[in-house]
Structure 1
Amino acid sequence: MQEPTRMLSVRDAFGIDTDLEVPAFAERCEHVPAIDAAYRFNPQATLAILAGFAHNRRVVVQGLHGTGKSTHIEQVAARLNWPCVRVNLDGHISRLDLVGKDAIVLEEGKQVTRFQEGILPWALQRPVALVFDEYDAGRPDVMFVIQRVLERDGSFTLLDQKKVLQPHAHFRLFATMNTLGQGNLSGLYHGTQLLNHAQLDRWNLVTSLDYLPPAEEAAIVLARVPQLATPPGREQVAAMVALAALTRKGFAVGDLSLLMSPRTVITWAENTQIFHDLRLAFELSFLNKCEPAERAIVAEYFQRCFGSELARHGEAADAGLLQAH
């Protein structure tokens, strides 16, 4: 499987009102992500990612945590049957991890030294979409390794091997980041770096993802937890999504240092099925992550959305002990 052999309608595959068609592979392989039928595509981000696949553009997807940046790229790749590999650029990823290193292997019962290529040269030579997650958290020495590959037809030199690698015609490069390469301005994303302007300038397209409209977010929660697809369950999910929206507004104005992402809402909904207790599931899924000084604000949000007080189990038990005495 070396070439895309068919054209896919963007309208049919992604529900976007356009006549565009994009190349796709006829068969799936082990590196093609699984299709998530419940995923909702953001039109602008989807078109940017599709341009990356169709026209070999380098695409960055930026957004707050839980907006589905990496998943968005994966779900586009899934529908194109395009192999996709994600690499998280945390502080433990080194230059050797990307490029490769000498390793001792056994050949015919003898120990010999062989060069084992890293993920970057491996992907560069194949029809693979390589996604760098947490791109703004990458170490400077790692970022300079990537910089040359960001050119449209950027070759890659393996110095130790004295070899120059040319990119496969259908190699694609994407990245996701929480910031826009300006560092940890909000205080939310510790470990992010100021990115070199020359580095940012090599990315052809930059798109942003925000949280979904409430109705779409609720639909995703219901798709993940179909047990709640009843009239009372839908009402409960709508209130959960409304509460999440309040935490995001509170975060935006500085009242909270933490917000509920769609991932958190789904986790909360899943945990309600485990504990059969909405309040306990909420505490374990989100409230216990909040600073103690902020929990009263979150409790007020809960009361506003559900019409009842959020009495913590520990506090209720303490109150019962006091009454007993």
Structure 2
Amino acid sequence: MSSAAALPDTTVSVREVFGIDSDLLVPAFSEPDPHVPGIDPAYRFNPSVTLAILAAFSRNRRMLLQGLHGTGKSTHIEQVAARLNWPCVRVNLDGHIGRLDLVGRDAVVLKEGRQVTEFQEGIIPWAVRRPVALILDEYDAGRPDVMFVIQRILERDGKLTLLDQNRVLDVHPGFRLFATANTVGLGNLNGMYHGVQRLNHAQLDRWNIVAALNHPPAADELEIVLARVPEMDTPQGRKMVASMVAVANLTRAGFEVGDLSTLMSPRTVITWAENMQIFPDPAVSFRLSFVNKCDEAEQPVVAEYFQRCFDAELDAADLNAVRPGAHTLAAMAG
């Protein structure tokens, strides 16, 4: 599958591969490529979002996946691509990524012992000429000059013009374009995502599919955490994780009504469970995983959530309890 002209040469059953009740068959590659993400066998797919991603792959639709931080938006796309053997590349549109980084620039290279100026193409010209799924992470944090570079290839039959080279690139029929964002183009409405921009609505209108991935139901989140931290998959451990997920849901409810300025994402719950392997006291590991990220004035509210779910107090003494013994230090070193 190294040829730039390669196209999907097989299909996979959505029911068999993703466990979703659908007769849909999706194009795929029979052989992996070095750019195909690794498969996480424990990954749990959100059915509606998975079907939207599969539609984007099978019908060549441009897809924007929006949701709160830590919900696994990019990972979801990657894990779908992994099961389709579809090459996938992620680019983070932080504030330092500019137009030349994406399109390319002239660079001085050494050829036959002489310095010559040569055009070095960026990731977008490289990707559009190949059967690659390009994921633009933090799409709503991209600079305006970057946004307008992307706008032309948002159209399914769009071509990419390289003004510096006087070239027009045809887009490979196997090229797919995805983006992930914390907002849906309306800017930073609640103060949680500094640096995001209001998106040009003419560009936002070019995304064919817009889906949302937010916090999973408590039962699903429990299984997600246990899949990541299998050491806790015991009767006692499951009860502990259920209480951790309950705390997380209380922080989310508190955020919605304005009691908290931050919330626990599924990623934070996984981190808490992982830290439990180092600091077995749930109060200590909770403080180190989440409480210390909160505003000091809001920590009593978080402590109340913890008390409700664990029937135990969370106080300042918990931090002083962090006195790793030899076995804990050995575990940390390992």
Instruction: Report the TM range for the smaller structure's normalisation.
Output: over 0.9
- Which residue number corresponds to residue 11 of structure 2? 7
Matches within 5 A, 1:1-325: 1=1, 2-313=6-317
CA drift at 1:311: 2.2
CA drift at 1:203: 0.4
How far apart, in 1, do the equivalents of 2:125 and 2:99 lie? 12
Q: Is the 8 A contact 2:287 2:319 kept in 1?
A: no
Secondary structure of 1:274's counterpart equals coil
Q: Is the 8 A contact 1:280 1:313 kept in 2?
A: no
How far apart, in 2, do the equivalents of 1:16 and 1:169 lie? 27
CA drift at 1:280: 1.5
Change in CA separation of 1:159 and 1:309 when aligned onto 2, cut-off 3 Å: same
Change in CA separation of 1:112 and 1:299 when aligned onto 2, cut-off 3 Å: same
How far apart, in 1, do the equivalents of 2:170 and 2:194 lie? 36
How far apart, in 1, do the equivalents of 2:159 and 2:220 lie? 42
Q: How many residues align?
A: 317
How far apart, in 2, do the equivalents of 1:172 and 1:71 lie? 16
- Matched AA of 2:197: Q
How far apart, in 1, do the equivalents of 2:42 and 2:248 lie? 20
- Matched AA of 1:284: L
CA drift at 1:266: 0.5
CA drift at 1:316: 6.4
Question: What per-residue deviation string (whole Å, max 9, x for no partner) do you get for residues 193-223 of structure 1?
Answer: 1111110011001011121111111111111
CA drift at 1:314: 6.4
Question: What per-residue deviation string (whole Å, max 9, x for no partner) do you get for residues 121-153 of structure 1?
Answer: 000000000000111111001000100011111
Secondary structure of 2:110's counterpart equals strand
How far apart, in 1, do the equivalents of 2:318 and 2:14 lie? 52
Unaligned runs of 5+ in 2: 322-334
Secondary structure of 1:106's counterpart equals strand
How far apart, in 2, do the equivalents of 1:249 and 1:262 lie? 14
CA drift at 1:276: 2.5
Of stretches 12-21 and 269-278 in structure 1, the one that deviates more from structure 2 is 269-278
TM-score, scaled to structure 1: 0.95
Of stretches 226-235 and 128-137 in structure 1, the one that deviates more from structure 2 is 226-235
Calculate the aligned-residue CA RMSD, in Å: 1.1
- Matched AA of 1:181: G
Q: Is the 8 A contact 2:66 2:184 kept in 1?
A: yes
Secondary structure of 2:292's counterpart equals helix
- Matched AA of 1:85: V
How far apart, in 1, do the equivalents of 2:13 and 2:30 lie? 14
Aligned-residue identity in percent = 70
Unaligned runs of 5+ in 1: 318-325
Secondary structure of 1:131's counterpart equals strand
- Which residue number corresponds to residue 323 of structure 1? none
Question: What per-residue deviation string (whole Å, max 9, x for no partner) do you get for residues 242-279 of structure 1?
Answer: 10010000011110011000100000110110123322
TM-score, scaled to structure 2: 0.93
